[in-house]
Amino acid sequence: MFFTCGPNEAMVVSGFCRSPPVMVAGGRVFVLPCIQKIQRISLNTLTLNVKSEKVYTRHGVPISVTGIAQVKIQGQNKEMLAAACQMFLGKTEAEIAHIALETLEGHQRAIMAHMTVEEIYKDRQKFSEQVFKVASSDLVNMGISVVSYTLKDIHDDQDYLHSLGKARTAQVQKDARIGEAEAKRDAGIREAKAKQEKVSAQYLSEIEMAKAQRDYELKKAAYDIEVNTRRAQADLAYQLQVAKTKQQIEEQRVQVQVVERAQQVALQEQEIARREKELEARVRKPAEAERYRLERLAEAERSQLIMQAEAEAESVRMRGEAEAFAIGARARAEAEQMAKKAEAFQLYQEAAQLDMLLEKLPQVAEEISGPLTSAKKITLVSSGSGAMGAAKVTGEVLDILSRLPESVERLTGVSIAQVNSKPLRTA
């Protein structure tokens, strides 16, 4: 058996002859092999539509997946070609495609069972790579190589993917709104920044223009000074030539002007000094004097208030001490007097009582005659007998006083006449 390969098919030659035929032509000998059988295997690329209907994923959600695979028998690799010949020799291209499709579909279902719907839906590249990797390792043993595999479609009958799409659509719309808002914000920021840069550039331009104008004015002023200096020098030179002819007159005139200017300067200095002295005399010194006087008055008033407060405090203190001393002395005297009276009462008894009564009788008489002293007018009515006028008043007062011993005896139970007639007794 030997192989010959073309671009689209491989030809397998098998069989032999024990005595191959010999052909002689033109003095040459040709040995013709005895060929029993020739078989061909297609090397064309096969496009497979790999469908997996209602396969349960890892979370138990049934979905249907369709993939597109490109496969072919590898004719450049002799080992793979030999394996393909062993597997598919004598089979049609449709039969080979069916075997490869069943293999891919089985691996596709296995990968779907190990992944979630979200993983398959969101990461198609990962799913395609896993199917490609697993299917390639299995088909290579059959001499078939997987050229490519692409996930074409995912769908289900329970609207699971539609729900995921809604969530994703809402997220995309949200991201779009956020992106639009951020874009507007960034555009506003860039616009504000551009305006700021424009204003800054305008200000910088105006600053540079102002600097240029300043430099121009400075240089122009310097040039003007130089021109005027030269012009003045020329004028002075001309005047000097004229002055040489009129030297004596000019010297006198200049001297007069110098003197006049000196006198004017002296007068101005004197006027300035006079005004300063006048200002000093009229404003500064009176103000300082007034300030000094007010300060002294305030200081004196403060000292006076302090001394007055101290004197009042001292007076209050001394008055308080004097009153306290007087009250104490009065209390001591009254206590001593009361003690002595108590001793006298104990020693003399009735005589002491008589002394106290006699001591209080003038006060009683004074209280009795008190209303008469405050009376402005007294009208006396006489019955025609007895004294008249002031003697009548005196008699009335004496009559009231003569009744005092009886009143005292009724009030106190002590008879002045009896006490006075008894000899003094001591305790």
| Alpha-carbon radius of gyration of the chain | 76
pLDDT for 387 equals 59
pLDDT for 16 equals 47
Cα 296 from chain centre: 54
| 101-150: pLDDT as tens digits | 888 888 888 888 888 888 887 888 888 888 888 888 888 888 888 888 88
Q: pTM (2 decimals)? A: 0.35
What residue ranges in 32-170 does DSSP mark as E strands?
A: 37-42, 46-56, 62-73, 144-155
Distances (CA, A) of 394 to 272, 362, 372: 102, 16, 11
Helix residue ranges per DSSP H, 349-387 = 350-374
Task: Check if the beta carbon of residue 48 is closer than 8 Å to that of residue 71.
Answer: yes
| 207-244: pLDDT as tens digits | 988 888 888 888 888 888 888 888 888 888 888 887 78
pLDDT for 427 equals 47
pLDDT for 352 equals 65
Mean predicted lDDT score pLDDT of the chain: 76
Which residues, in sequence order, are CB contacts of 34 under 8 Å at separation 6+?
15, 16, 17, 20, 21
pLDDT tens for the chain, 427 residues: list them: 444 455 555 555 555 444 454 444 454 544 445 555 666 777 788 888 888 888 888 888 888 888 888 888 877 778 888 887 877 777 788 888 888 888 888 888 888 888 888 888 788 888 888 888 888 888 888 888 888 888 888 888 777 777 766 666 666 677 778 878 888 888 888 888 888 888 888 888 889 888 888 888 888 888 888 888 888 888 888 888 877 888 888 888 888 888 888 888 888 888 888 888 887 777 777 788 788 888 888 888 888 888 888 888 888 888 888 888 888 788 888 788 777 777 766 665 666 666 676 677 677 767 766 676 676 676 666 665 655 555 666 676 667 767 767 776 676 666 666 655 655 454 4
